[in-house]
Structure 1
Amino acid sequence: MNRRHALRHIALISGGLALIPSCDFSSDDILAAYQKLKVKSSEKELLGAISNTIIPAGEIKGALELAVPDFILVMVNDCMEEESQSRFMKGLRAFPEFAGKGFDQLSPKEKEAKVKEGLMLEGDDTEEGKVKQDIQYFLNTTKRLTIQGYMASEYIQTEIIPYSLIPGEYNGAVLISDLQKPRING
């Protein structure tokens, strides 16, 4: 073996070994991914409960099982302006007080009623009215992003409504009653 090749390999290996300790592969910093929002784990759990109220599990998986709360937080953190992010977080932090007792302790019907009530809130220019507006904005944004994240999930796109990039073949002699699952074409 050539001495130059050996020195090059040693340099590459030692450089790689120097970088390995700086890589952090732990999942403890999952909330650090949402730097702009500064989300606590309890707030993420509340968001999960709300999204699971919007699309609960039944015959098919619910929003919580498809990690829709993570999708919501990423979208708010990365795609919204600072003013919208602050309104979202104010609404998220004000929601437990609006819900009364712990939202997790409510029955599914009560959770659904609280979310519907929050979606219908109307505020004014008073301090209490602004809080109501923030809660309504938070719930509307959560509802919209829950539906978007759920419908765009791999589970829905592959198992429930199979996605095909191009339309299927044309067959004019097929009865409508013989058709299978609907296909969404891109």
Structure 2
Amino acid sequence: MKQFVLASLLVWGVPLGAATIEVSPGSANATIGSTIIVDVLIQSVADLYAHQFDLSFDPSVLSATLVSPGQFLSGGVGFLPGEIDNVAGTVVFTADTLSGPDPGVSGSGTLASIQFTGLAPGVSALVLSNVILLDSNLADIELDAVNGGSVRVGDATVPEPAQGVPMIVALIAFLVRRRVRGTIRGGTPT
């Protein structure tokens, strides 16, 4: 009897746990003016037919520039990038859906990618909210966890010159000066 129950679970694909949605990478670094892309990932979902989420960030540190669809619902026909508000620091109503009588998608993957530009030094939390996951019967899919992330923006660093570089520059300047001096005096360069 135990073997029949186990085989039934494997055949019908009953999920062992609820889905998780998260920002990836969980922690990232950027510099002022640089571009960083974060993905919104779904983990361990069964029969995902449609989704919607909002994301908030610190608008004094980051500026959202683009929202693009992920590959998880690649057959989706209704991707909505949502509305970017860089004053409030939100991307609201990002959504995607499949169409027709097809079953939903199971597994893990990228729902959407959001591109940011670093504005000023600081740390911005990336907070997911208003998450809705629907199966092919348009019933809610249980969420086990919603995990946000953060982006640290720092000043653009100017690399320090290597220790030997100033000495080489000084030596070249000395040799050029010596050569010019010898030519000006009417002699041959020494």
With the shorter chain as reference, the TM-score category is under 0.3
With the length of structure 2 as denominator, give the TM-score of the two structures: 0.20
Structure ranking higher in helix proportion? 1
Structure ranking higher in strand proportion? 2
Could you say which structure has the greater relative contact order, defined with CA pairs below 8 angstroms and 6 or more residues apart?
A: 2
Q: Which of 1 and 2 has greater Rg?
A: 2
With the length of structure 1 as denominator, give the TM-score of the two structures: 0.21
